[in-house]
Amino acid sequence: MERLKLADQGGIDKLLIGDLDIRNITLSIGDIIHQVNVEKLCRRFVEERGLKCESEALYDAALYHDIGKSLIEKNIIDKPGQLTVEERLIMEKHSLIGAMIMTGYASNKAVIIIRQHHEKVDGSGYPLGLRGHEMEYEAKILGICDYYAANMEERVYRPARTHEQTEVIMMGGNKHLFDHVLLYEFFSMFEGQMEKKVG
């Protein structure tokens, strides 16, 4: 599988992005685990539902989608309470920063997916407020898997949610944020599993 190919893509020259030495970039263990969770979920979604997409670009994007958080101030990342408007705007830069960091390491397609991973089909996302028809299909897949995984993980400001709670949020009040066909496909993936659990 293709991953970061430093040697093939310029190696040492690419360790600097402007004045930034990427060897100094660090992510929390929590963020790394989150990205691995999202990548696994994307893989499962694509494979189980037979989604036709640029899967390798999607998996690469999933595995590094939040790398931009490494350059966001830690007091904002770890803030237990609600972010102020200003802090939220800073936090929202992480998808653009992530795309910038990964340029040259991942495919162009993966970089675009990273940039779009917080866009929402109703245009309420960031950084550009793209609408569904302007978004990459893979970014819509990643958006659903990312949102689901983030809800199921504990955060400093809230406990982990259950699958059922997350489904109510995503299929209920926040349904307008996601591609409906993909959203139903995604949750139908768990149906057999949930029935088995109940039985």
Dist. CA 84–CA 98, nearest whole Å: 22
* Closer Cβ to Fe ion, 46 or 139, answer by number: 139
Shortest distance, position 26 Cβ to Fe ion, whole Å:
17
Shortest distance, position 67 Cβ to Fe ion, whole Å:
9
Whole-angstrom CA distances from 113 to 11, 41, 152 are: 23, 16, 22
Dist. CA 186–CA 67, nearest whole Å: 25
**Looking only at residues 138 through 177 of this chain, which bind Fe ion when binding is defined by CB under 5 A?**
146
User: By the 8 A CB rule, do 40 and 58 touch?
Assistant: no
Helix axes 108-115, 137-152, angle to 10 degrees: 50
* Closer Cβ to Fe ion, 46 or 97, answer by number: 97
List the one residue from 39, 60, 66, 119 that touches Fe ion (CB under 5 A).
Answer: 66
Q: Does 39 bind Fe ion (CB under 5 A)?
A: no
Shortest distance, position 57 Cβ to Fe ion, whole Å:
17
Closest CA to 65 of 38, 104, 42: 38
* Closer Cβ to Fe ion, 113 or 183, answer by number: 113
Dist. CA 168–CA 164, nearest whole Å: 6
Closest CA to 113 of 98, 133, 131: 98
Stretch that binds Fe ion, among 3-11, 65-73, 85-93, 122-130 (CB under 5 A): 65-73
* Closer Cβ to Fe ion, 105 or 148, answer by number: 148
Shortest distance, position 10 Cβ to Fe ion, whole Å:
26
For Fe ion (CB under 5 A), the number of binding residues is 2
* Binding site residues, Fe ion, CB under 5 A: 66, 146
